[in-house]
């Protein structure tokens, strides 16, 4: 069953083809280079899905988000593009960043912070002018000190127009209405329907590589993040577009027709 919650899942209605962009992880220059390639290949009826993990790890998180917003404005200036044609999914980096901004509510904030910083959140915090060591210190001050710190980070984010709005617009997954294509950040649990996936969508699972038949009737499930870092893969009913961007690897994008065929590919 396909969920019908437009604020949670994005329906790519009217799509002829769908472009999907893998995990970016703060690599603004690679994203700009990919957009340079993509702008001449996007056709009328195409849809564009960013598969999560825009933040974290790389050197320039704010500029990455700014590049995404600028390309969105460029596409929306075309007469054949509408706002619903561009979708942003929630990845693990965006979920960790959300939790960081609510760190004062964590039961063990110091431990949670140390783990998140090591997973890539340190780069996002530095990008918005924060200091990871200062964050560690305020964890020893309790909820009041943490709240003061995260409020200052929120204020810094507010100085970047559109960044808050983009994070508020993130979706769990995107799909074509007739269940041809499903797009997720990191994976699915094939034993559960899409509406019951929960955080598997952005944390992934060990099941993805073993999917050998259509999940939920979808011809192909496309993800942008592979925590195993094994590179792009094209299975019979799955696709992984993680080239290791942020970790020294390339950024990938692929275009799929509604029958699940990859018909174009960009690597930068």
Per-residue pLDDT, 4: 66
Compute the average pLDDT of residues 75-104. Answer: 97
Claim to verify: residue 151 and residue 111 sit in the same structural domain: yes
Domain shared by 137 and 244, yes or no:
no
- Are 99 and 86 part of one and the same domain? no
Among residues 137, 179, 130, the alpha carbon closest in space to that of 151 is found at: 130
Same domain for 230 and 195, yes or no, is yes
Widest CA span in the chain? 55
Q: Which domain holds residue 120?
A: 95-158
Q: Establish if 2 belongs to a structural domain.
A: no
Question: pLDDT, tens digit, for every residue of 25-84?
Answer: 999 999 999 999 999 999 999 999 999 999 999 999 999 999 999 999 999 999 989 999
- Domain presence at residue 192: yes
Query: For residues 251 and 224, is the Cβ–Cβ distance under 8 A?
Result: no
255 shares its domain with 134: no
Task: State the residue for tokens 């870092």.
Answer: 229
8-state DSSP, 86: E
Same domain, 152 and 108: yes
Instruction: Tell whether 101 and 195 lie within a shared domain.
Output: no
Tens digit of each residue's pLDDT (9 = 90 or more) over 106-139: 999 999 999 999 999 999 999 999 999 999 999 9
149 bridge partner residues: none
Residue of 22, 63, 42, 12 lying closest to 182 (CA atoms): 12
CATH number of domain containing 55: 3.60.21.10
- The domain total for the chain is 2
Q: How far is CA 83 from CA 17, 18, 86, 268, in A?
A: 16, 15, 6, 26
97 and 104 Cβ atoms separated by less than 8 Å: no
Same domain, 111 and 32: no
Query: Are 143 and 35 contained in the same domain?
Result: no
Q: What are the start-end ranges of the H helices in the chain?
A: 28-38, 61-76, 92-100, 109-116, 122-127, 132-139, 143-158, 163-168, 200-203
- Same domain, yes or no, for 77 and 177? yes
225 near 23, Cβ under 8 Å?
yes
């Amino acid at each position: 069953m396909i969920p019908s919650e437009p604020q949670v899942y994005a329906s790519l209605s009217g799509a002829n083809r769908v472009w999907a962009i893998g995990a970016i992880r703060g690599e603004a220059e690679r994203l700009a280079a990919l957009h340079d390639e993509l702008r001449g290949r996007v056709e009328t009826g195409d849809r564009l899905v960013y598969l999560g993990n825009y933040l974290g790890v790389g050197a320039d998180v704010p500029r990455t988000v700014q590049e995404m917003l600028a390309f969105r404005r460029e596409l929306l200036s075309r007469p054949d593009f509408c706002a619903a044609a561009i979708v942003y999914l929630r990845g693990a980096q965006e979920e960790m960043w959300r939790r960081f901004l609510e760190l004062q509510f964590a039961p063990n904030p110091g431990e949670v912070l140390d783990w998140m910083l090591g997973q890539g959140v340190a780069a996002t915090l530095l990008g918005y002018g924060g200091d990871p060591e200062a964050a560690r210190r305020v964890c020893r001050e309790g909820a009041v000190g943490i709240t003061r710190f995260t409020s200052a980070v929120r204020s810094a984010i507010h100085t970047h127009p559109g960044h808050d709005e983009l994070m508020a617009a993130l979706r769990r997954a995107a799909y074509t209405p007739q269940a041809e294509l499903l797009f997720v950040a990191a994976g699915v649990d094939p034993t559960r329907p899409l509406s019951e996936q929960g955080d598997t969508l952005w944390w992934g699972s060990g099941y993805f590589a073993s999917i050998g038949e259509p999940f939920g009737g979808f011809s192909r499930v496309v993800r942008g993040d592979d925590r195993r870092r094994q590179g792009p893969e094209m299975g019979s009913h799955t696709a992984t577009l993680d080239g290791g961007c942020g970790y020294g690897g390339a950024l990938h994008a692929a275009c799929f027709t509604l029958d699940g065929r990859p018909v174009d590919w960009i690597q930068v």
